[in-house]
Amino acid sequence: MTDLKTVHVAGHPITYQDQGPPDAPVVVLLSGWCHDHRLFDRLVPHLAEDLRVLCVDWRGHGEDRSPVDEFGYAEQAADTLAVLDALHVDRFLPVSHSHGGWANLEIAERTGTARVPRLVVVDWLMTPPSPGFAAGLAAIQDPGRWIEARQGLYDVWLNGHQHERVQRHLDEEMSGFDFEMWARSCRVIAGAYAEFGSPLQRMAGLSEHRPVKHLFSQPATRSYEQAHIDFQSEHPWFEYRTLNGPTHFPTLDSPGKVAAEIRTYIDAP
């Protein structure tokens, strides 16, 4: 983490990476819970030659892993915007992975279309949680069951594939977060689904609509893709791409495909 810089926001050290030409169009990469900027270490080289790429870690997720008070997607959005304000970044393209999407949409709501004219979300469960997924979120909040339940998520995300970089991300990077952060993540995620119903419903409820693109590999089912088709037919600002990658982590297993989709979006009129 030696290349990280720090901005103090509301008493919390928020660490970030800043790579690429300083005057280039800005892409802001936002991880899900219990990840950090290393989720994007294979994607950034595809972008940073001619784009300014910022990876902003959530509070408690960066260089300082000291315990933090309860926080959720609203604080994640506020922290990110505070970093961007400190860096005098105005217009930018936010790209989030998984449940970092709740903060991404909150950022969009707070900034408006002039500052965030479009956004990208990556491998995020767009439909209401299944009973099994909801049960997993509850189990990870139980100190007696959380390790087993987390492994259940890891198994789903790997989907039977062997991918060295993704496996290391799970075993070393995600597993480096303790029970408190994992339990918090599941509380916040469950609460967001209870509040909004689903990410698609949250997008539909934004006060200003703008182009949104979802890039995903999982779940690879016809019914899940049909939910995207149905939503797109009623909301023409929404689009999606199936990446056909092996795991839940396209930024690690398919970085070239993700970068190409980002480039088409940031260059769009």
Q: Which residues are catalytic?
A: 248
For residue 123, the 8-state DSSP code is S
Phi then psi for residue 99, to 5 deg, are -80, 5
Q: From CA 9, how far away is CA 78, in angstroms rounded?
A: 9
Going by the DSSP 8-state scheme, the letter that residue 128 receives in this structure is P
Pull the structure tokens for residue 26. 């800005």
Calpha distance 158→155 (Å, rounded): 5
Alpha-carbon distance 17 to 19, whole Å?
Answer: 6
Do residues 17 and 45 touch, judged by C-beta distance below 8 A? no
Contact between 247 and 161 under an 8 Å Cβ cutoff? The reply is yes
> What gap in Å lies between CA 187 and CA 3, rounded to an integer?
31
Which H or E run includes 52? Answer: strand 52-56
Half-sphere exposure of 263 (CA within 13 A, CB side): 14
Nearest CA to 105 among 240, 184, 170, 202?
202
Q: Which pair of tokens denotes residue 212?
A: 């949104």
Per this entry, what is the length of the chain? 269
Torsion of CA 160, 161, 166, 172, to 10 degrees: 50
